[in-house]
Structure 1
Amino acid sequence: MTATSVERASSTRNTVLIAVFAALIAAMGLIPPITLGIIPVPITLQTLGVMVAGALLGPVRGMLSAVIVVVLSLLGLPILSGGRGGLGVLVGPTGGYLIGWIPGALVTGLIVKYWAIRRSSPAMRYVAVTVAAIVGGIVVIYAIGVPWTSVVSGLPLRTSAIGSLTFVPGDLIKAVITAIVAVTVHRSYRGLLR
C-alpha cells in the first residue's frame, strides 16, 4: 500500500466515523424531549451522543460530529429533539446548549484522549472518562447554555442556573453511560481514539 492510499483510507475512515456519530446524535433526537416547566429548556438524550462522540472519536472528530448536527439543525432540518430545527432554535432559550455541544465534544475528547484513557487501572479509566464527560458534557455545555437561556428568556442568571440543576442527575447518568461505552470500545479498538 502506498502512502497516498493509506492517507486516503484514513481520510475516508475519519469521514465515515464523523458522519456515523453525527447521525447517532441526530437519531437521539427522535426520543421526545421532557419539558419540566421550570426553565424553557427540555431534557433530551442528544447530549449523550455528544459525550459519546467526544469520548470515542477524540477531540477533533467528536467536535466535527457535533458541528454537523448543529449546522444541519440551523439549516432547518428537524433533527433536534421534538423535531425542532431552523434558526429559531439558535435565538431561542436552548440555543446556547446547542452551540455548547461543539466545545463540549471537543473538551470531552481532549480529556479522554490525553488523560482519562491512559489511566493504568481499568477502574480508574471508568472514573476518568466519567470525569471527562462531566467536564465536557455538563460543565462546558452549561457554561454556554445557562447564560444564553438567561439572556434570551429574560430570566435572572441565578434562576437560569438553579433551573439547570434539574438536568444534572440525568446528565450524570449520561456521563456514566459514556464511560462504560468508551472504555469498553477502546479496550477492543485501541486505534479509534486519535
Structure 2
Amino acid sequence: MSTNSKLQELTKGAIFLALMIVFAMIPGIPLGFLPVPIVVQNLAVMLIVLILGTKRGTLVLAAFLLLVAMGLPVLSGGRGGLAILFGPTGGYLWSWLIFPSAYWGLNRLIFKKKLGDEPSCWQGFVLLAAVDIIIVYGIGALWLHLNQGLDFWSAYVANFAFIPGDLIKVFLAVLLSRALFEANQH
C-alpha cells in the first residue's frame, strides 16, 4: 500500500469518526419505556460499516468508543464516560464493534461476495437491517437483561419501537454508500 493510499484511508477514517461526533449533536428521543433513546448516530455506524468495511470500520468504531471511555461528550446528548459504556445503553454501543464483521461476514456467506464486493442495493438493505435488528438489538437486550435486570425477551421486543426509524436509516445508508461507490468508480 502506497503512502498516498494509506493517507487516503486514514482520512476516510477520520471523516467518519467526525461524522459520528457531528451526529451526536442531534439529541436523542427518549422512549420512556426503555432506557435507550432513538438516536441518529447509528446512521453513521451503518455508513461506516458499508463504506469502510470490516477492519477499517471496526477500528474507527473502536476509536470512537475510546473517545467515549475518555469522557469526551461524543454521544447523543453530549454524553461520554465509562459510566455510559457500562450503563443501560452500553450493549448497543459495544455491539457496534461487531457490526462490521457481522455484516461483511454474512455478505460473504449468504451472497458469496468477496471482501469489499458491494452487494446489490436490496442485498445491502436486507443484510444491514438484519444485522441491526438481530445483532445490535440482541446484544442491547442482553445487556439490559444483565445490567438492568429486565427480562431479555421483553427488552428485545421493546427494541421493535426502533424498527421504523432504523429502516429509514438503513435505506439512507445503503443509498448514500451506493452513490459514493458509483461516484468512486468514475
Q: Do the two structures share a fold, i.e. TM-score over 0.5?
A: yes
> Please, which of 53, 61, 66 is the counterpart of residue 48 of structure 2?
53
**1:33-44 equivalence runs, <5 A:** 33-44=28-39
Are the equivalent residues in 1 in contact too, given 2:53–2:116 (CA < 8 A)? no
Structure 1 pair 44–57 and aligned structure 2 pair: CA distance change class (3 A):
same
> Please, which of 122, 128, 150 is the counterpart of residue 127 of structure 1?
122
Structure 1 pair 116–156 and aligned structure 2 pair: CA distance change class (3 A):
same
> How big is the shift at 1:105?
2.9
> How big is the shift at 1:108?
3.0
**1:58-137 equivalence runs, <5 A:** 58-110=53-105, 111=107, 114=114, 118=118, 125-137=120-132
TM-score by length of 2: 0.89
Structure-1 separation of matches of 2:68 and 2:103: 22
Which amino acid is 1:19 matched to? Answer: A
Structure-1 separation of matches of 2:54 and 2:21: 19
Structure-2 separation of matches of 1:188 and 1:141: 30
Which residue is equivalent to 1:157?
152
Question: How many equivalent pairs are there?
Answer: 181
Which residue is equivalent to 1:122?
none
> How big is the shift at 1:109?
4.4
Structure-1 separation of matches of 2:59 and 2:102: 12
Which residue is equivalent to 1:21?
16
Which amino acid is 2:174 matched to? Answer: A
Residue 145 (structure 2) pairs with residue 146 (structure 1) = no
Which amino acid is 1:184 matched to? Answer: A
Structure 1 pair 53–115 and aligned structure 2 pair: CA distance change class (3 A):
same
> How big is the shift at 1:182?
1.1
Structure 1 pair 137–159 and aligned structure 2 pair: CA distance change class (3 A):
closer
Are the equivalent residues in 2 in contact too, given 1:116–1:132 (CA < 8 A)? no
> How big is the shift at 1:115?
7.9
> How big is the shift at 1:116?
9.2
> How big is the shift at 1:146?
1.0
Q: 1:148-167: CA deviations, max 9, x gaps?
A: 01211111112211211111
Which amino acid is 2:124 matched to? Answer: V
> Please, which of 154, 176, 181 is the counterpart of residue 181 of structure 1?
176
Which residue is equivalent to 1:11?
6
Q: Which runs of 4+ in 1 moved over 6 A?
A: none
Structural RMSD (CA): 2.1
Indicate the percent of aligned positions where both proteins have the same amino acid.
Answer: 33
For 2:58, what is the secondary structure of its paired residue?
helix
Structure 2 unaligned blocks of 5 or more: none
TM-score by length of 1: 0.85
Structure 1 unaligned blocks of 5 or more: 1-5, 120-124
